[in-house]
Chain A
Amino acid sequence: MLTQALVLSALLFALGTFGVLVRRNAIIMFLCIELQLNAVNLALVVFSRVAGIDGQVFVFFVMTVAAAEAAVGLAIIISIFRHYETVNVNSFNLLKW
């Protein structure tokens, strides 16, 4: 049970990572990041079964932060879209030296 759940979590995480790395659409990347977070959440819940309640408490933190992040992140993406009229991250290189 423990192993299966962790494997699922790892798969989800890998999927999220893969998505972040290969996709160019900012919204998809954003969703992939959410996927990674939730993979971590799953792992935390699983671990809390053996290591105590802390993991579950932590999941709430992550979810709260994820919600805040979603709000801010989406707002940024929208304002970028207004400016560039695209959400392709390859065209955002303002931070380049």
Chain B
Amino acid sequence: MLSMGIFSLPLAQEAAEAAAHAEAAGHFEPFLPGLIVLLPLLGFLVNGVLALVHGRRSADAVRRGEELDLDTGGRPSTHTLPTWVGPGVLLGSFLLVVANFLRMRGVELHEAVVVNYWTWMDTGAFRVEAALQLDQLSMIMMLVVTGVGFLIHVFSVGYMKDDPGYPRYFAYLNLFVFFMLVLVTGASFPVMFVGWEGVGLCSYLLIGFWFGDREKSDAGKKAFIVNRIGDFGFLIALFLIFVQMGTLDFVEVMGRAPDELVYGGALVTAVTLFLLLGAAGKSAQIPLYVWLPDAMAGPTPVSALIHAATMVTAGVYMVARSSVLFALSPVGSVTVAGIGVATALFAATIALAQYDIKKVLAYSTVSQLGYMFLGVGVGAYAAGVFHLMTHAFFKALLFLGSGAVIHSMHHALHHTHSHDDPQDMRNMGGLKKFMPLTAFTMWVATLAIAGIWPFAGFFSKDEIIWYAGAAATGPFASFYTVFWVLALAAAMLTAFYMTRMMVMTFHGSNRTGDEEAKHLHEAPLTMTVPLSVLAFLSVFGGWINVPEAIRNSFLGGFGALPMSEWLHDWLDPVTHTATAIREEALVAGGFLDGEHHYHGYLEHAPFGGGELTWALASTLAALVVVLVAVSVVRRWQIEPAAKAGEPQSGLKKVLYNKWYVDELYDLIIVRPVLRTSRFLWRIVDSVIIDGLVNLSGGLAKFAGFVVSLFQTGSVNTYAFILTVGVLLILWTVGF
């Protein structure tokens, strides 16, 4: 090598080396990566213009005191075009992502490919490029975002087509996808932050989509403000990283962090804790989860896309993206895992007692996000991302299914002018008869989320729980053991509340009322097709990452499942540094002998039994819970919501009221802040500060008043004073 270098020109040598390197590693040439991100933005612009034009028209109608009539007046092109533009751009993006994915699969890519577009900020001391980063992790995220996103866009066409704000809806939805893609492909923390806040904005706009309703726009506002608390943490973490490392590019930060940051040091711990605050805000973890259940005020497909499949998983993605930093901080990691498992269990208990179908799903989402946090917290980054992906499938399916149910209920109630709540499960029951396909697909998703073999959720959730147990070695071992137990408990709860929801909705006797029942019907094709596709993915999506131990057993059909630990291997280039750091630390701490690999220490599960045993036990337990739940819930006497009212006593009341956390926050944060604000304004600003200002003015005025007393206007007085004055002067001067 050296001798060659002497003879060849430096430049040529470099080029040759690069070529050789590329050949060895395979060369990944991204295919129009910018367009993937740009297409949804274009969609937003087109739909946005349509929405503005459309908005003018409906404003005229509103001014006349009515609504824009879509049924008799014919649908204007501003209303029909978004049907094609909205999902169309998503399809385009998805196809581009698939093309890139196939290219990336064809080569062995060890380092992220960063595509620079322009210099975003450059102050001379700080520089950020507007750049996209394509690697295995962002590829998976892009597949999920555009793939599931496309299905949900298609579903939206059926769900929202009668809404007067249809074009605005698609504009927001496209904008959301744009920001989400920026989030997952951004090559540096600041660019990621653009997407991070951007999706928060879209979430705000979409939750408050029906802004005429005070509660709904309140929910949007709450989401934004709570998210901003998280963003504050994110910002501080960015500052810490920059001050320490002088850069915020992912490649550089993650590449240099192991050398430049002290393992377990205060700095890296602070960074991870602040990052966690950011992640907790976006991914609705304790203590910032309160916005997500309220976010159900948005249209149901929005809940599916933003508040289940994509945006809320951004926190998990962020932790996985910064896995190196978290691996460097055992305290940070255990906090992530602890917050995750606590959220998982806490939210699951609340879900037990909710009657609103979307609220059940919302708390279920919070709970499942807790699992993902547990996963990335225990160092199972691939497992966390895996669960993120399968969750995107089955939770999107559940939300869309509930959307189909609500859509149908809404129509039925609308026909009879009933004012019953179309989302309350106590008003449903026996819907299977009317909506068989929806019921079937939702059962698939329920089994998946409950962790029943061989559905997707089984593989992903089981892997997380297993890793949690396996992490119970080394520092914080006892913590991890507790986490493991709690995670198992939460899994049982999950199986129960999901079954409860399904039975209450689809089985038993019909409680809608006879007149309404006539109008119940299966959802249209635009809605059922996405449901079916997602159901397919909820079954088979988990097979891409089957652990070795399970695959080779009867649970894996003795090796018949097509791929083994594919996702794990796929993400290895992204996660191996973090894994290596954790392993090294364990070896250095004497918890693990140096011979073993990462998988080696998995055998050290502290409670005996191998991976297979526990997997079998958990799926059987889940199955038992589901069966018990079916028989128990079916026997309940459920009264329609209007008659039943709210639960009045006991644990049920506490759970129904969500442990009174909202009330608590209101009491200890919201009200004091408001009260202090009023105090600052009315007392400090108006009285004290401005009082001093006015006082100084007043003093000047008063002095003027005193002096003015001498001006009597009477000539005699002046003359007298003049004389006295002259005499005084004469006296002082002359005598």
Contacts and interface: CB of A to CB of B under 8 A. Distances in A.
Interface of A: 17, 20-21, 24, 29, 89-90, 92-97
Given A17-B723, A21-B723, A93 B716 contact: no
Contacts of B719: 20-21
A21 B714 contact: no
B648 interface: no
Interface in B677-723: 708, 711-716, 719-720, 723
Contacts of B723: 17, 21
Given A17-B723, A21-B723, A96 B712 contact: yes
B712 A89 contact: no
A95 B712 CA distance: 8
A24 B716 contact: yes
Contacts of A21: 716, 719-720, 723
A14 B708 CA distance: 30
Given A20-B719, A21-B720, A96-B712, 10 more contacts: A21-B723, A29-B715, A89-B714, A89-B716, A93-B714, A95-B711, A95-B713, A96-B713, A97-B708, A97-B713
Contacts of B708: 97
B714 A94 contact: no
A93 B708 CA distance: 14
25 contacts: A17-B723, A20-B719, A21-B716, A21-B719, A21-B720, A21-B723, A24-B716, A29-B715, A89-B715, A89-B716, A90-B714, A90-B716, A92-B713, A92-B714, A92-B715, A93-B712, A93-B714, A94-B713, A95-B711, A95-B713, A96-B712, A96-B713, A96-B714, A97-B711, A97-B713
Nearest first, the 4 closest Cβ-Cβ pairs linking A and B are A96-B713, A93-B713, A97-B708, A95-B713
Nearest to A33: B719
Nearest to B714: A93
Contacts, number: 29
Nearest to B724: A21
Contacts of B712: 93, 96
Contacts of B714: 89-90, 92-93, 96
A95 B708 CA distance: 11
A96 B711 contact: yes
Contacts of A94: 713
Nearest to B711: A97
A93 B712 CA distance: 7
Contacts of B715: 29, 89, 92
Contacts of A97: 708, 711, 713
Nearest to A93: B713
Contacts of B711: 95-97
A29 B714 CA distance: 13
A24 B717 CA distance: 11
Nearest to B720: A21
Interface in B403-419: none
A94 B723 CA distance: 22
A90 B717 CA distance: 10
A28 to B, nearest CB: 12
B710 to A, nearest CB: 9
A20 B713 CA distance: 16
Contacts of A92: 713-715
Contacts of B716: 21, 24, 89-90
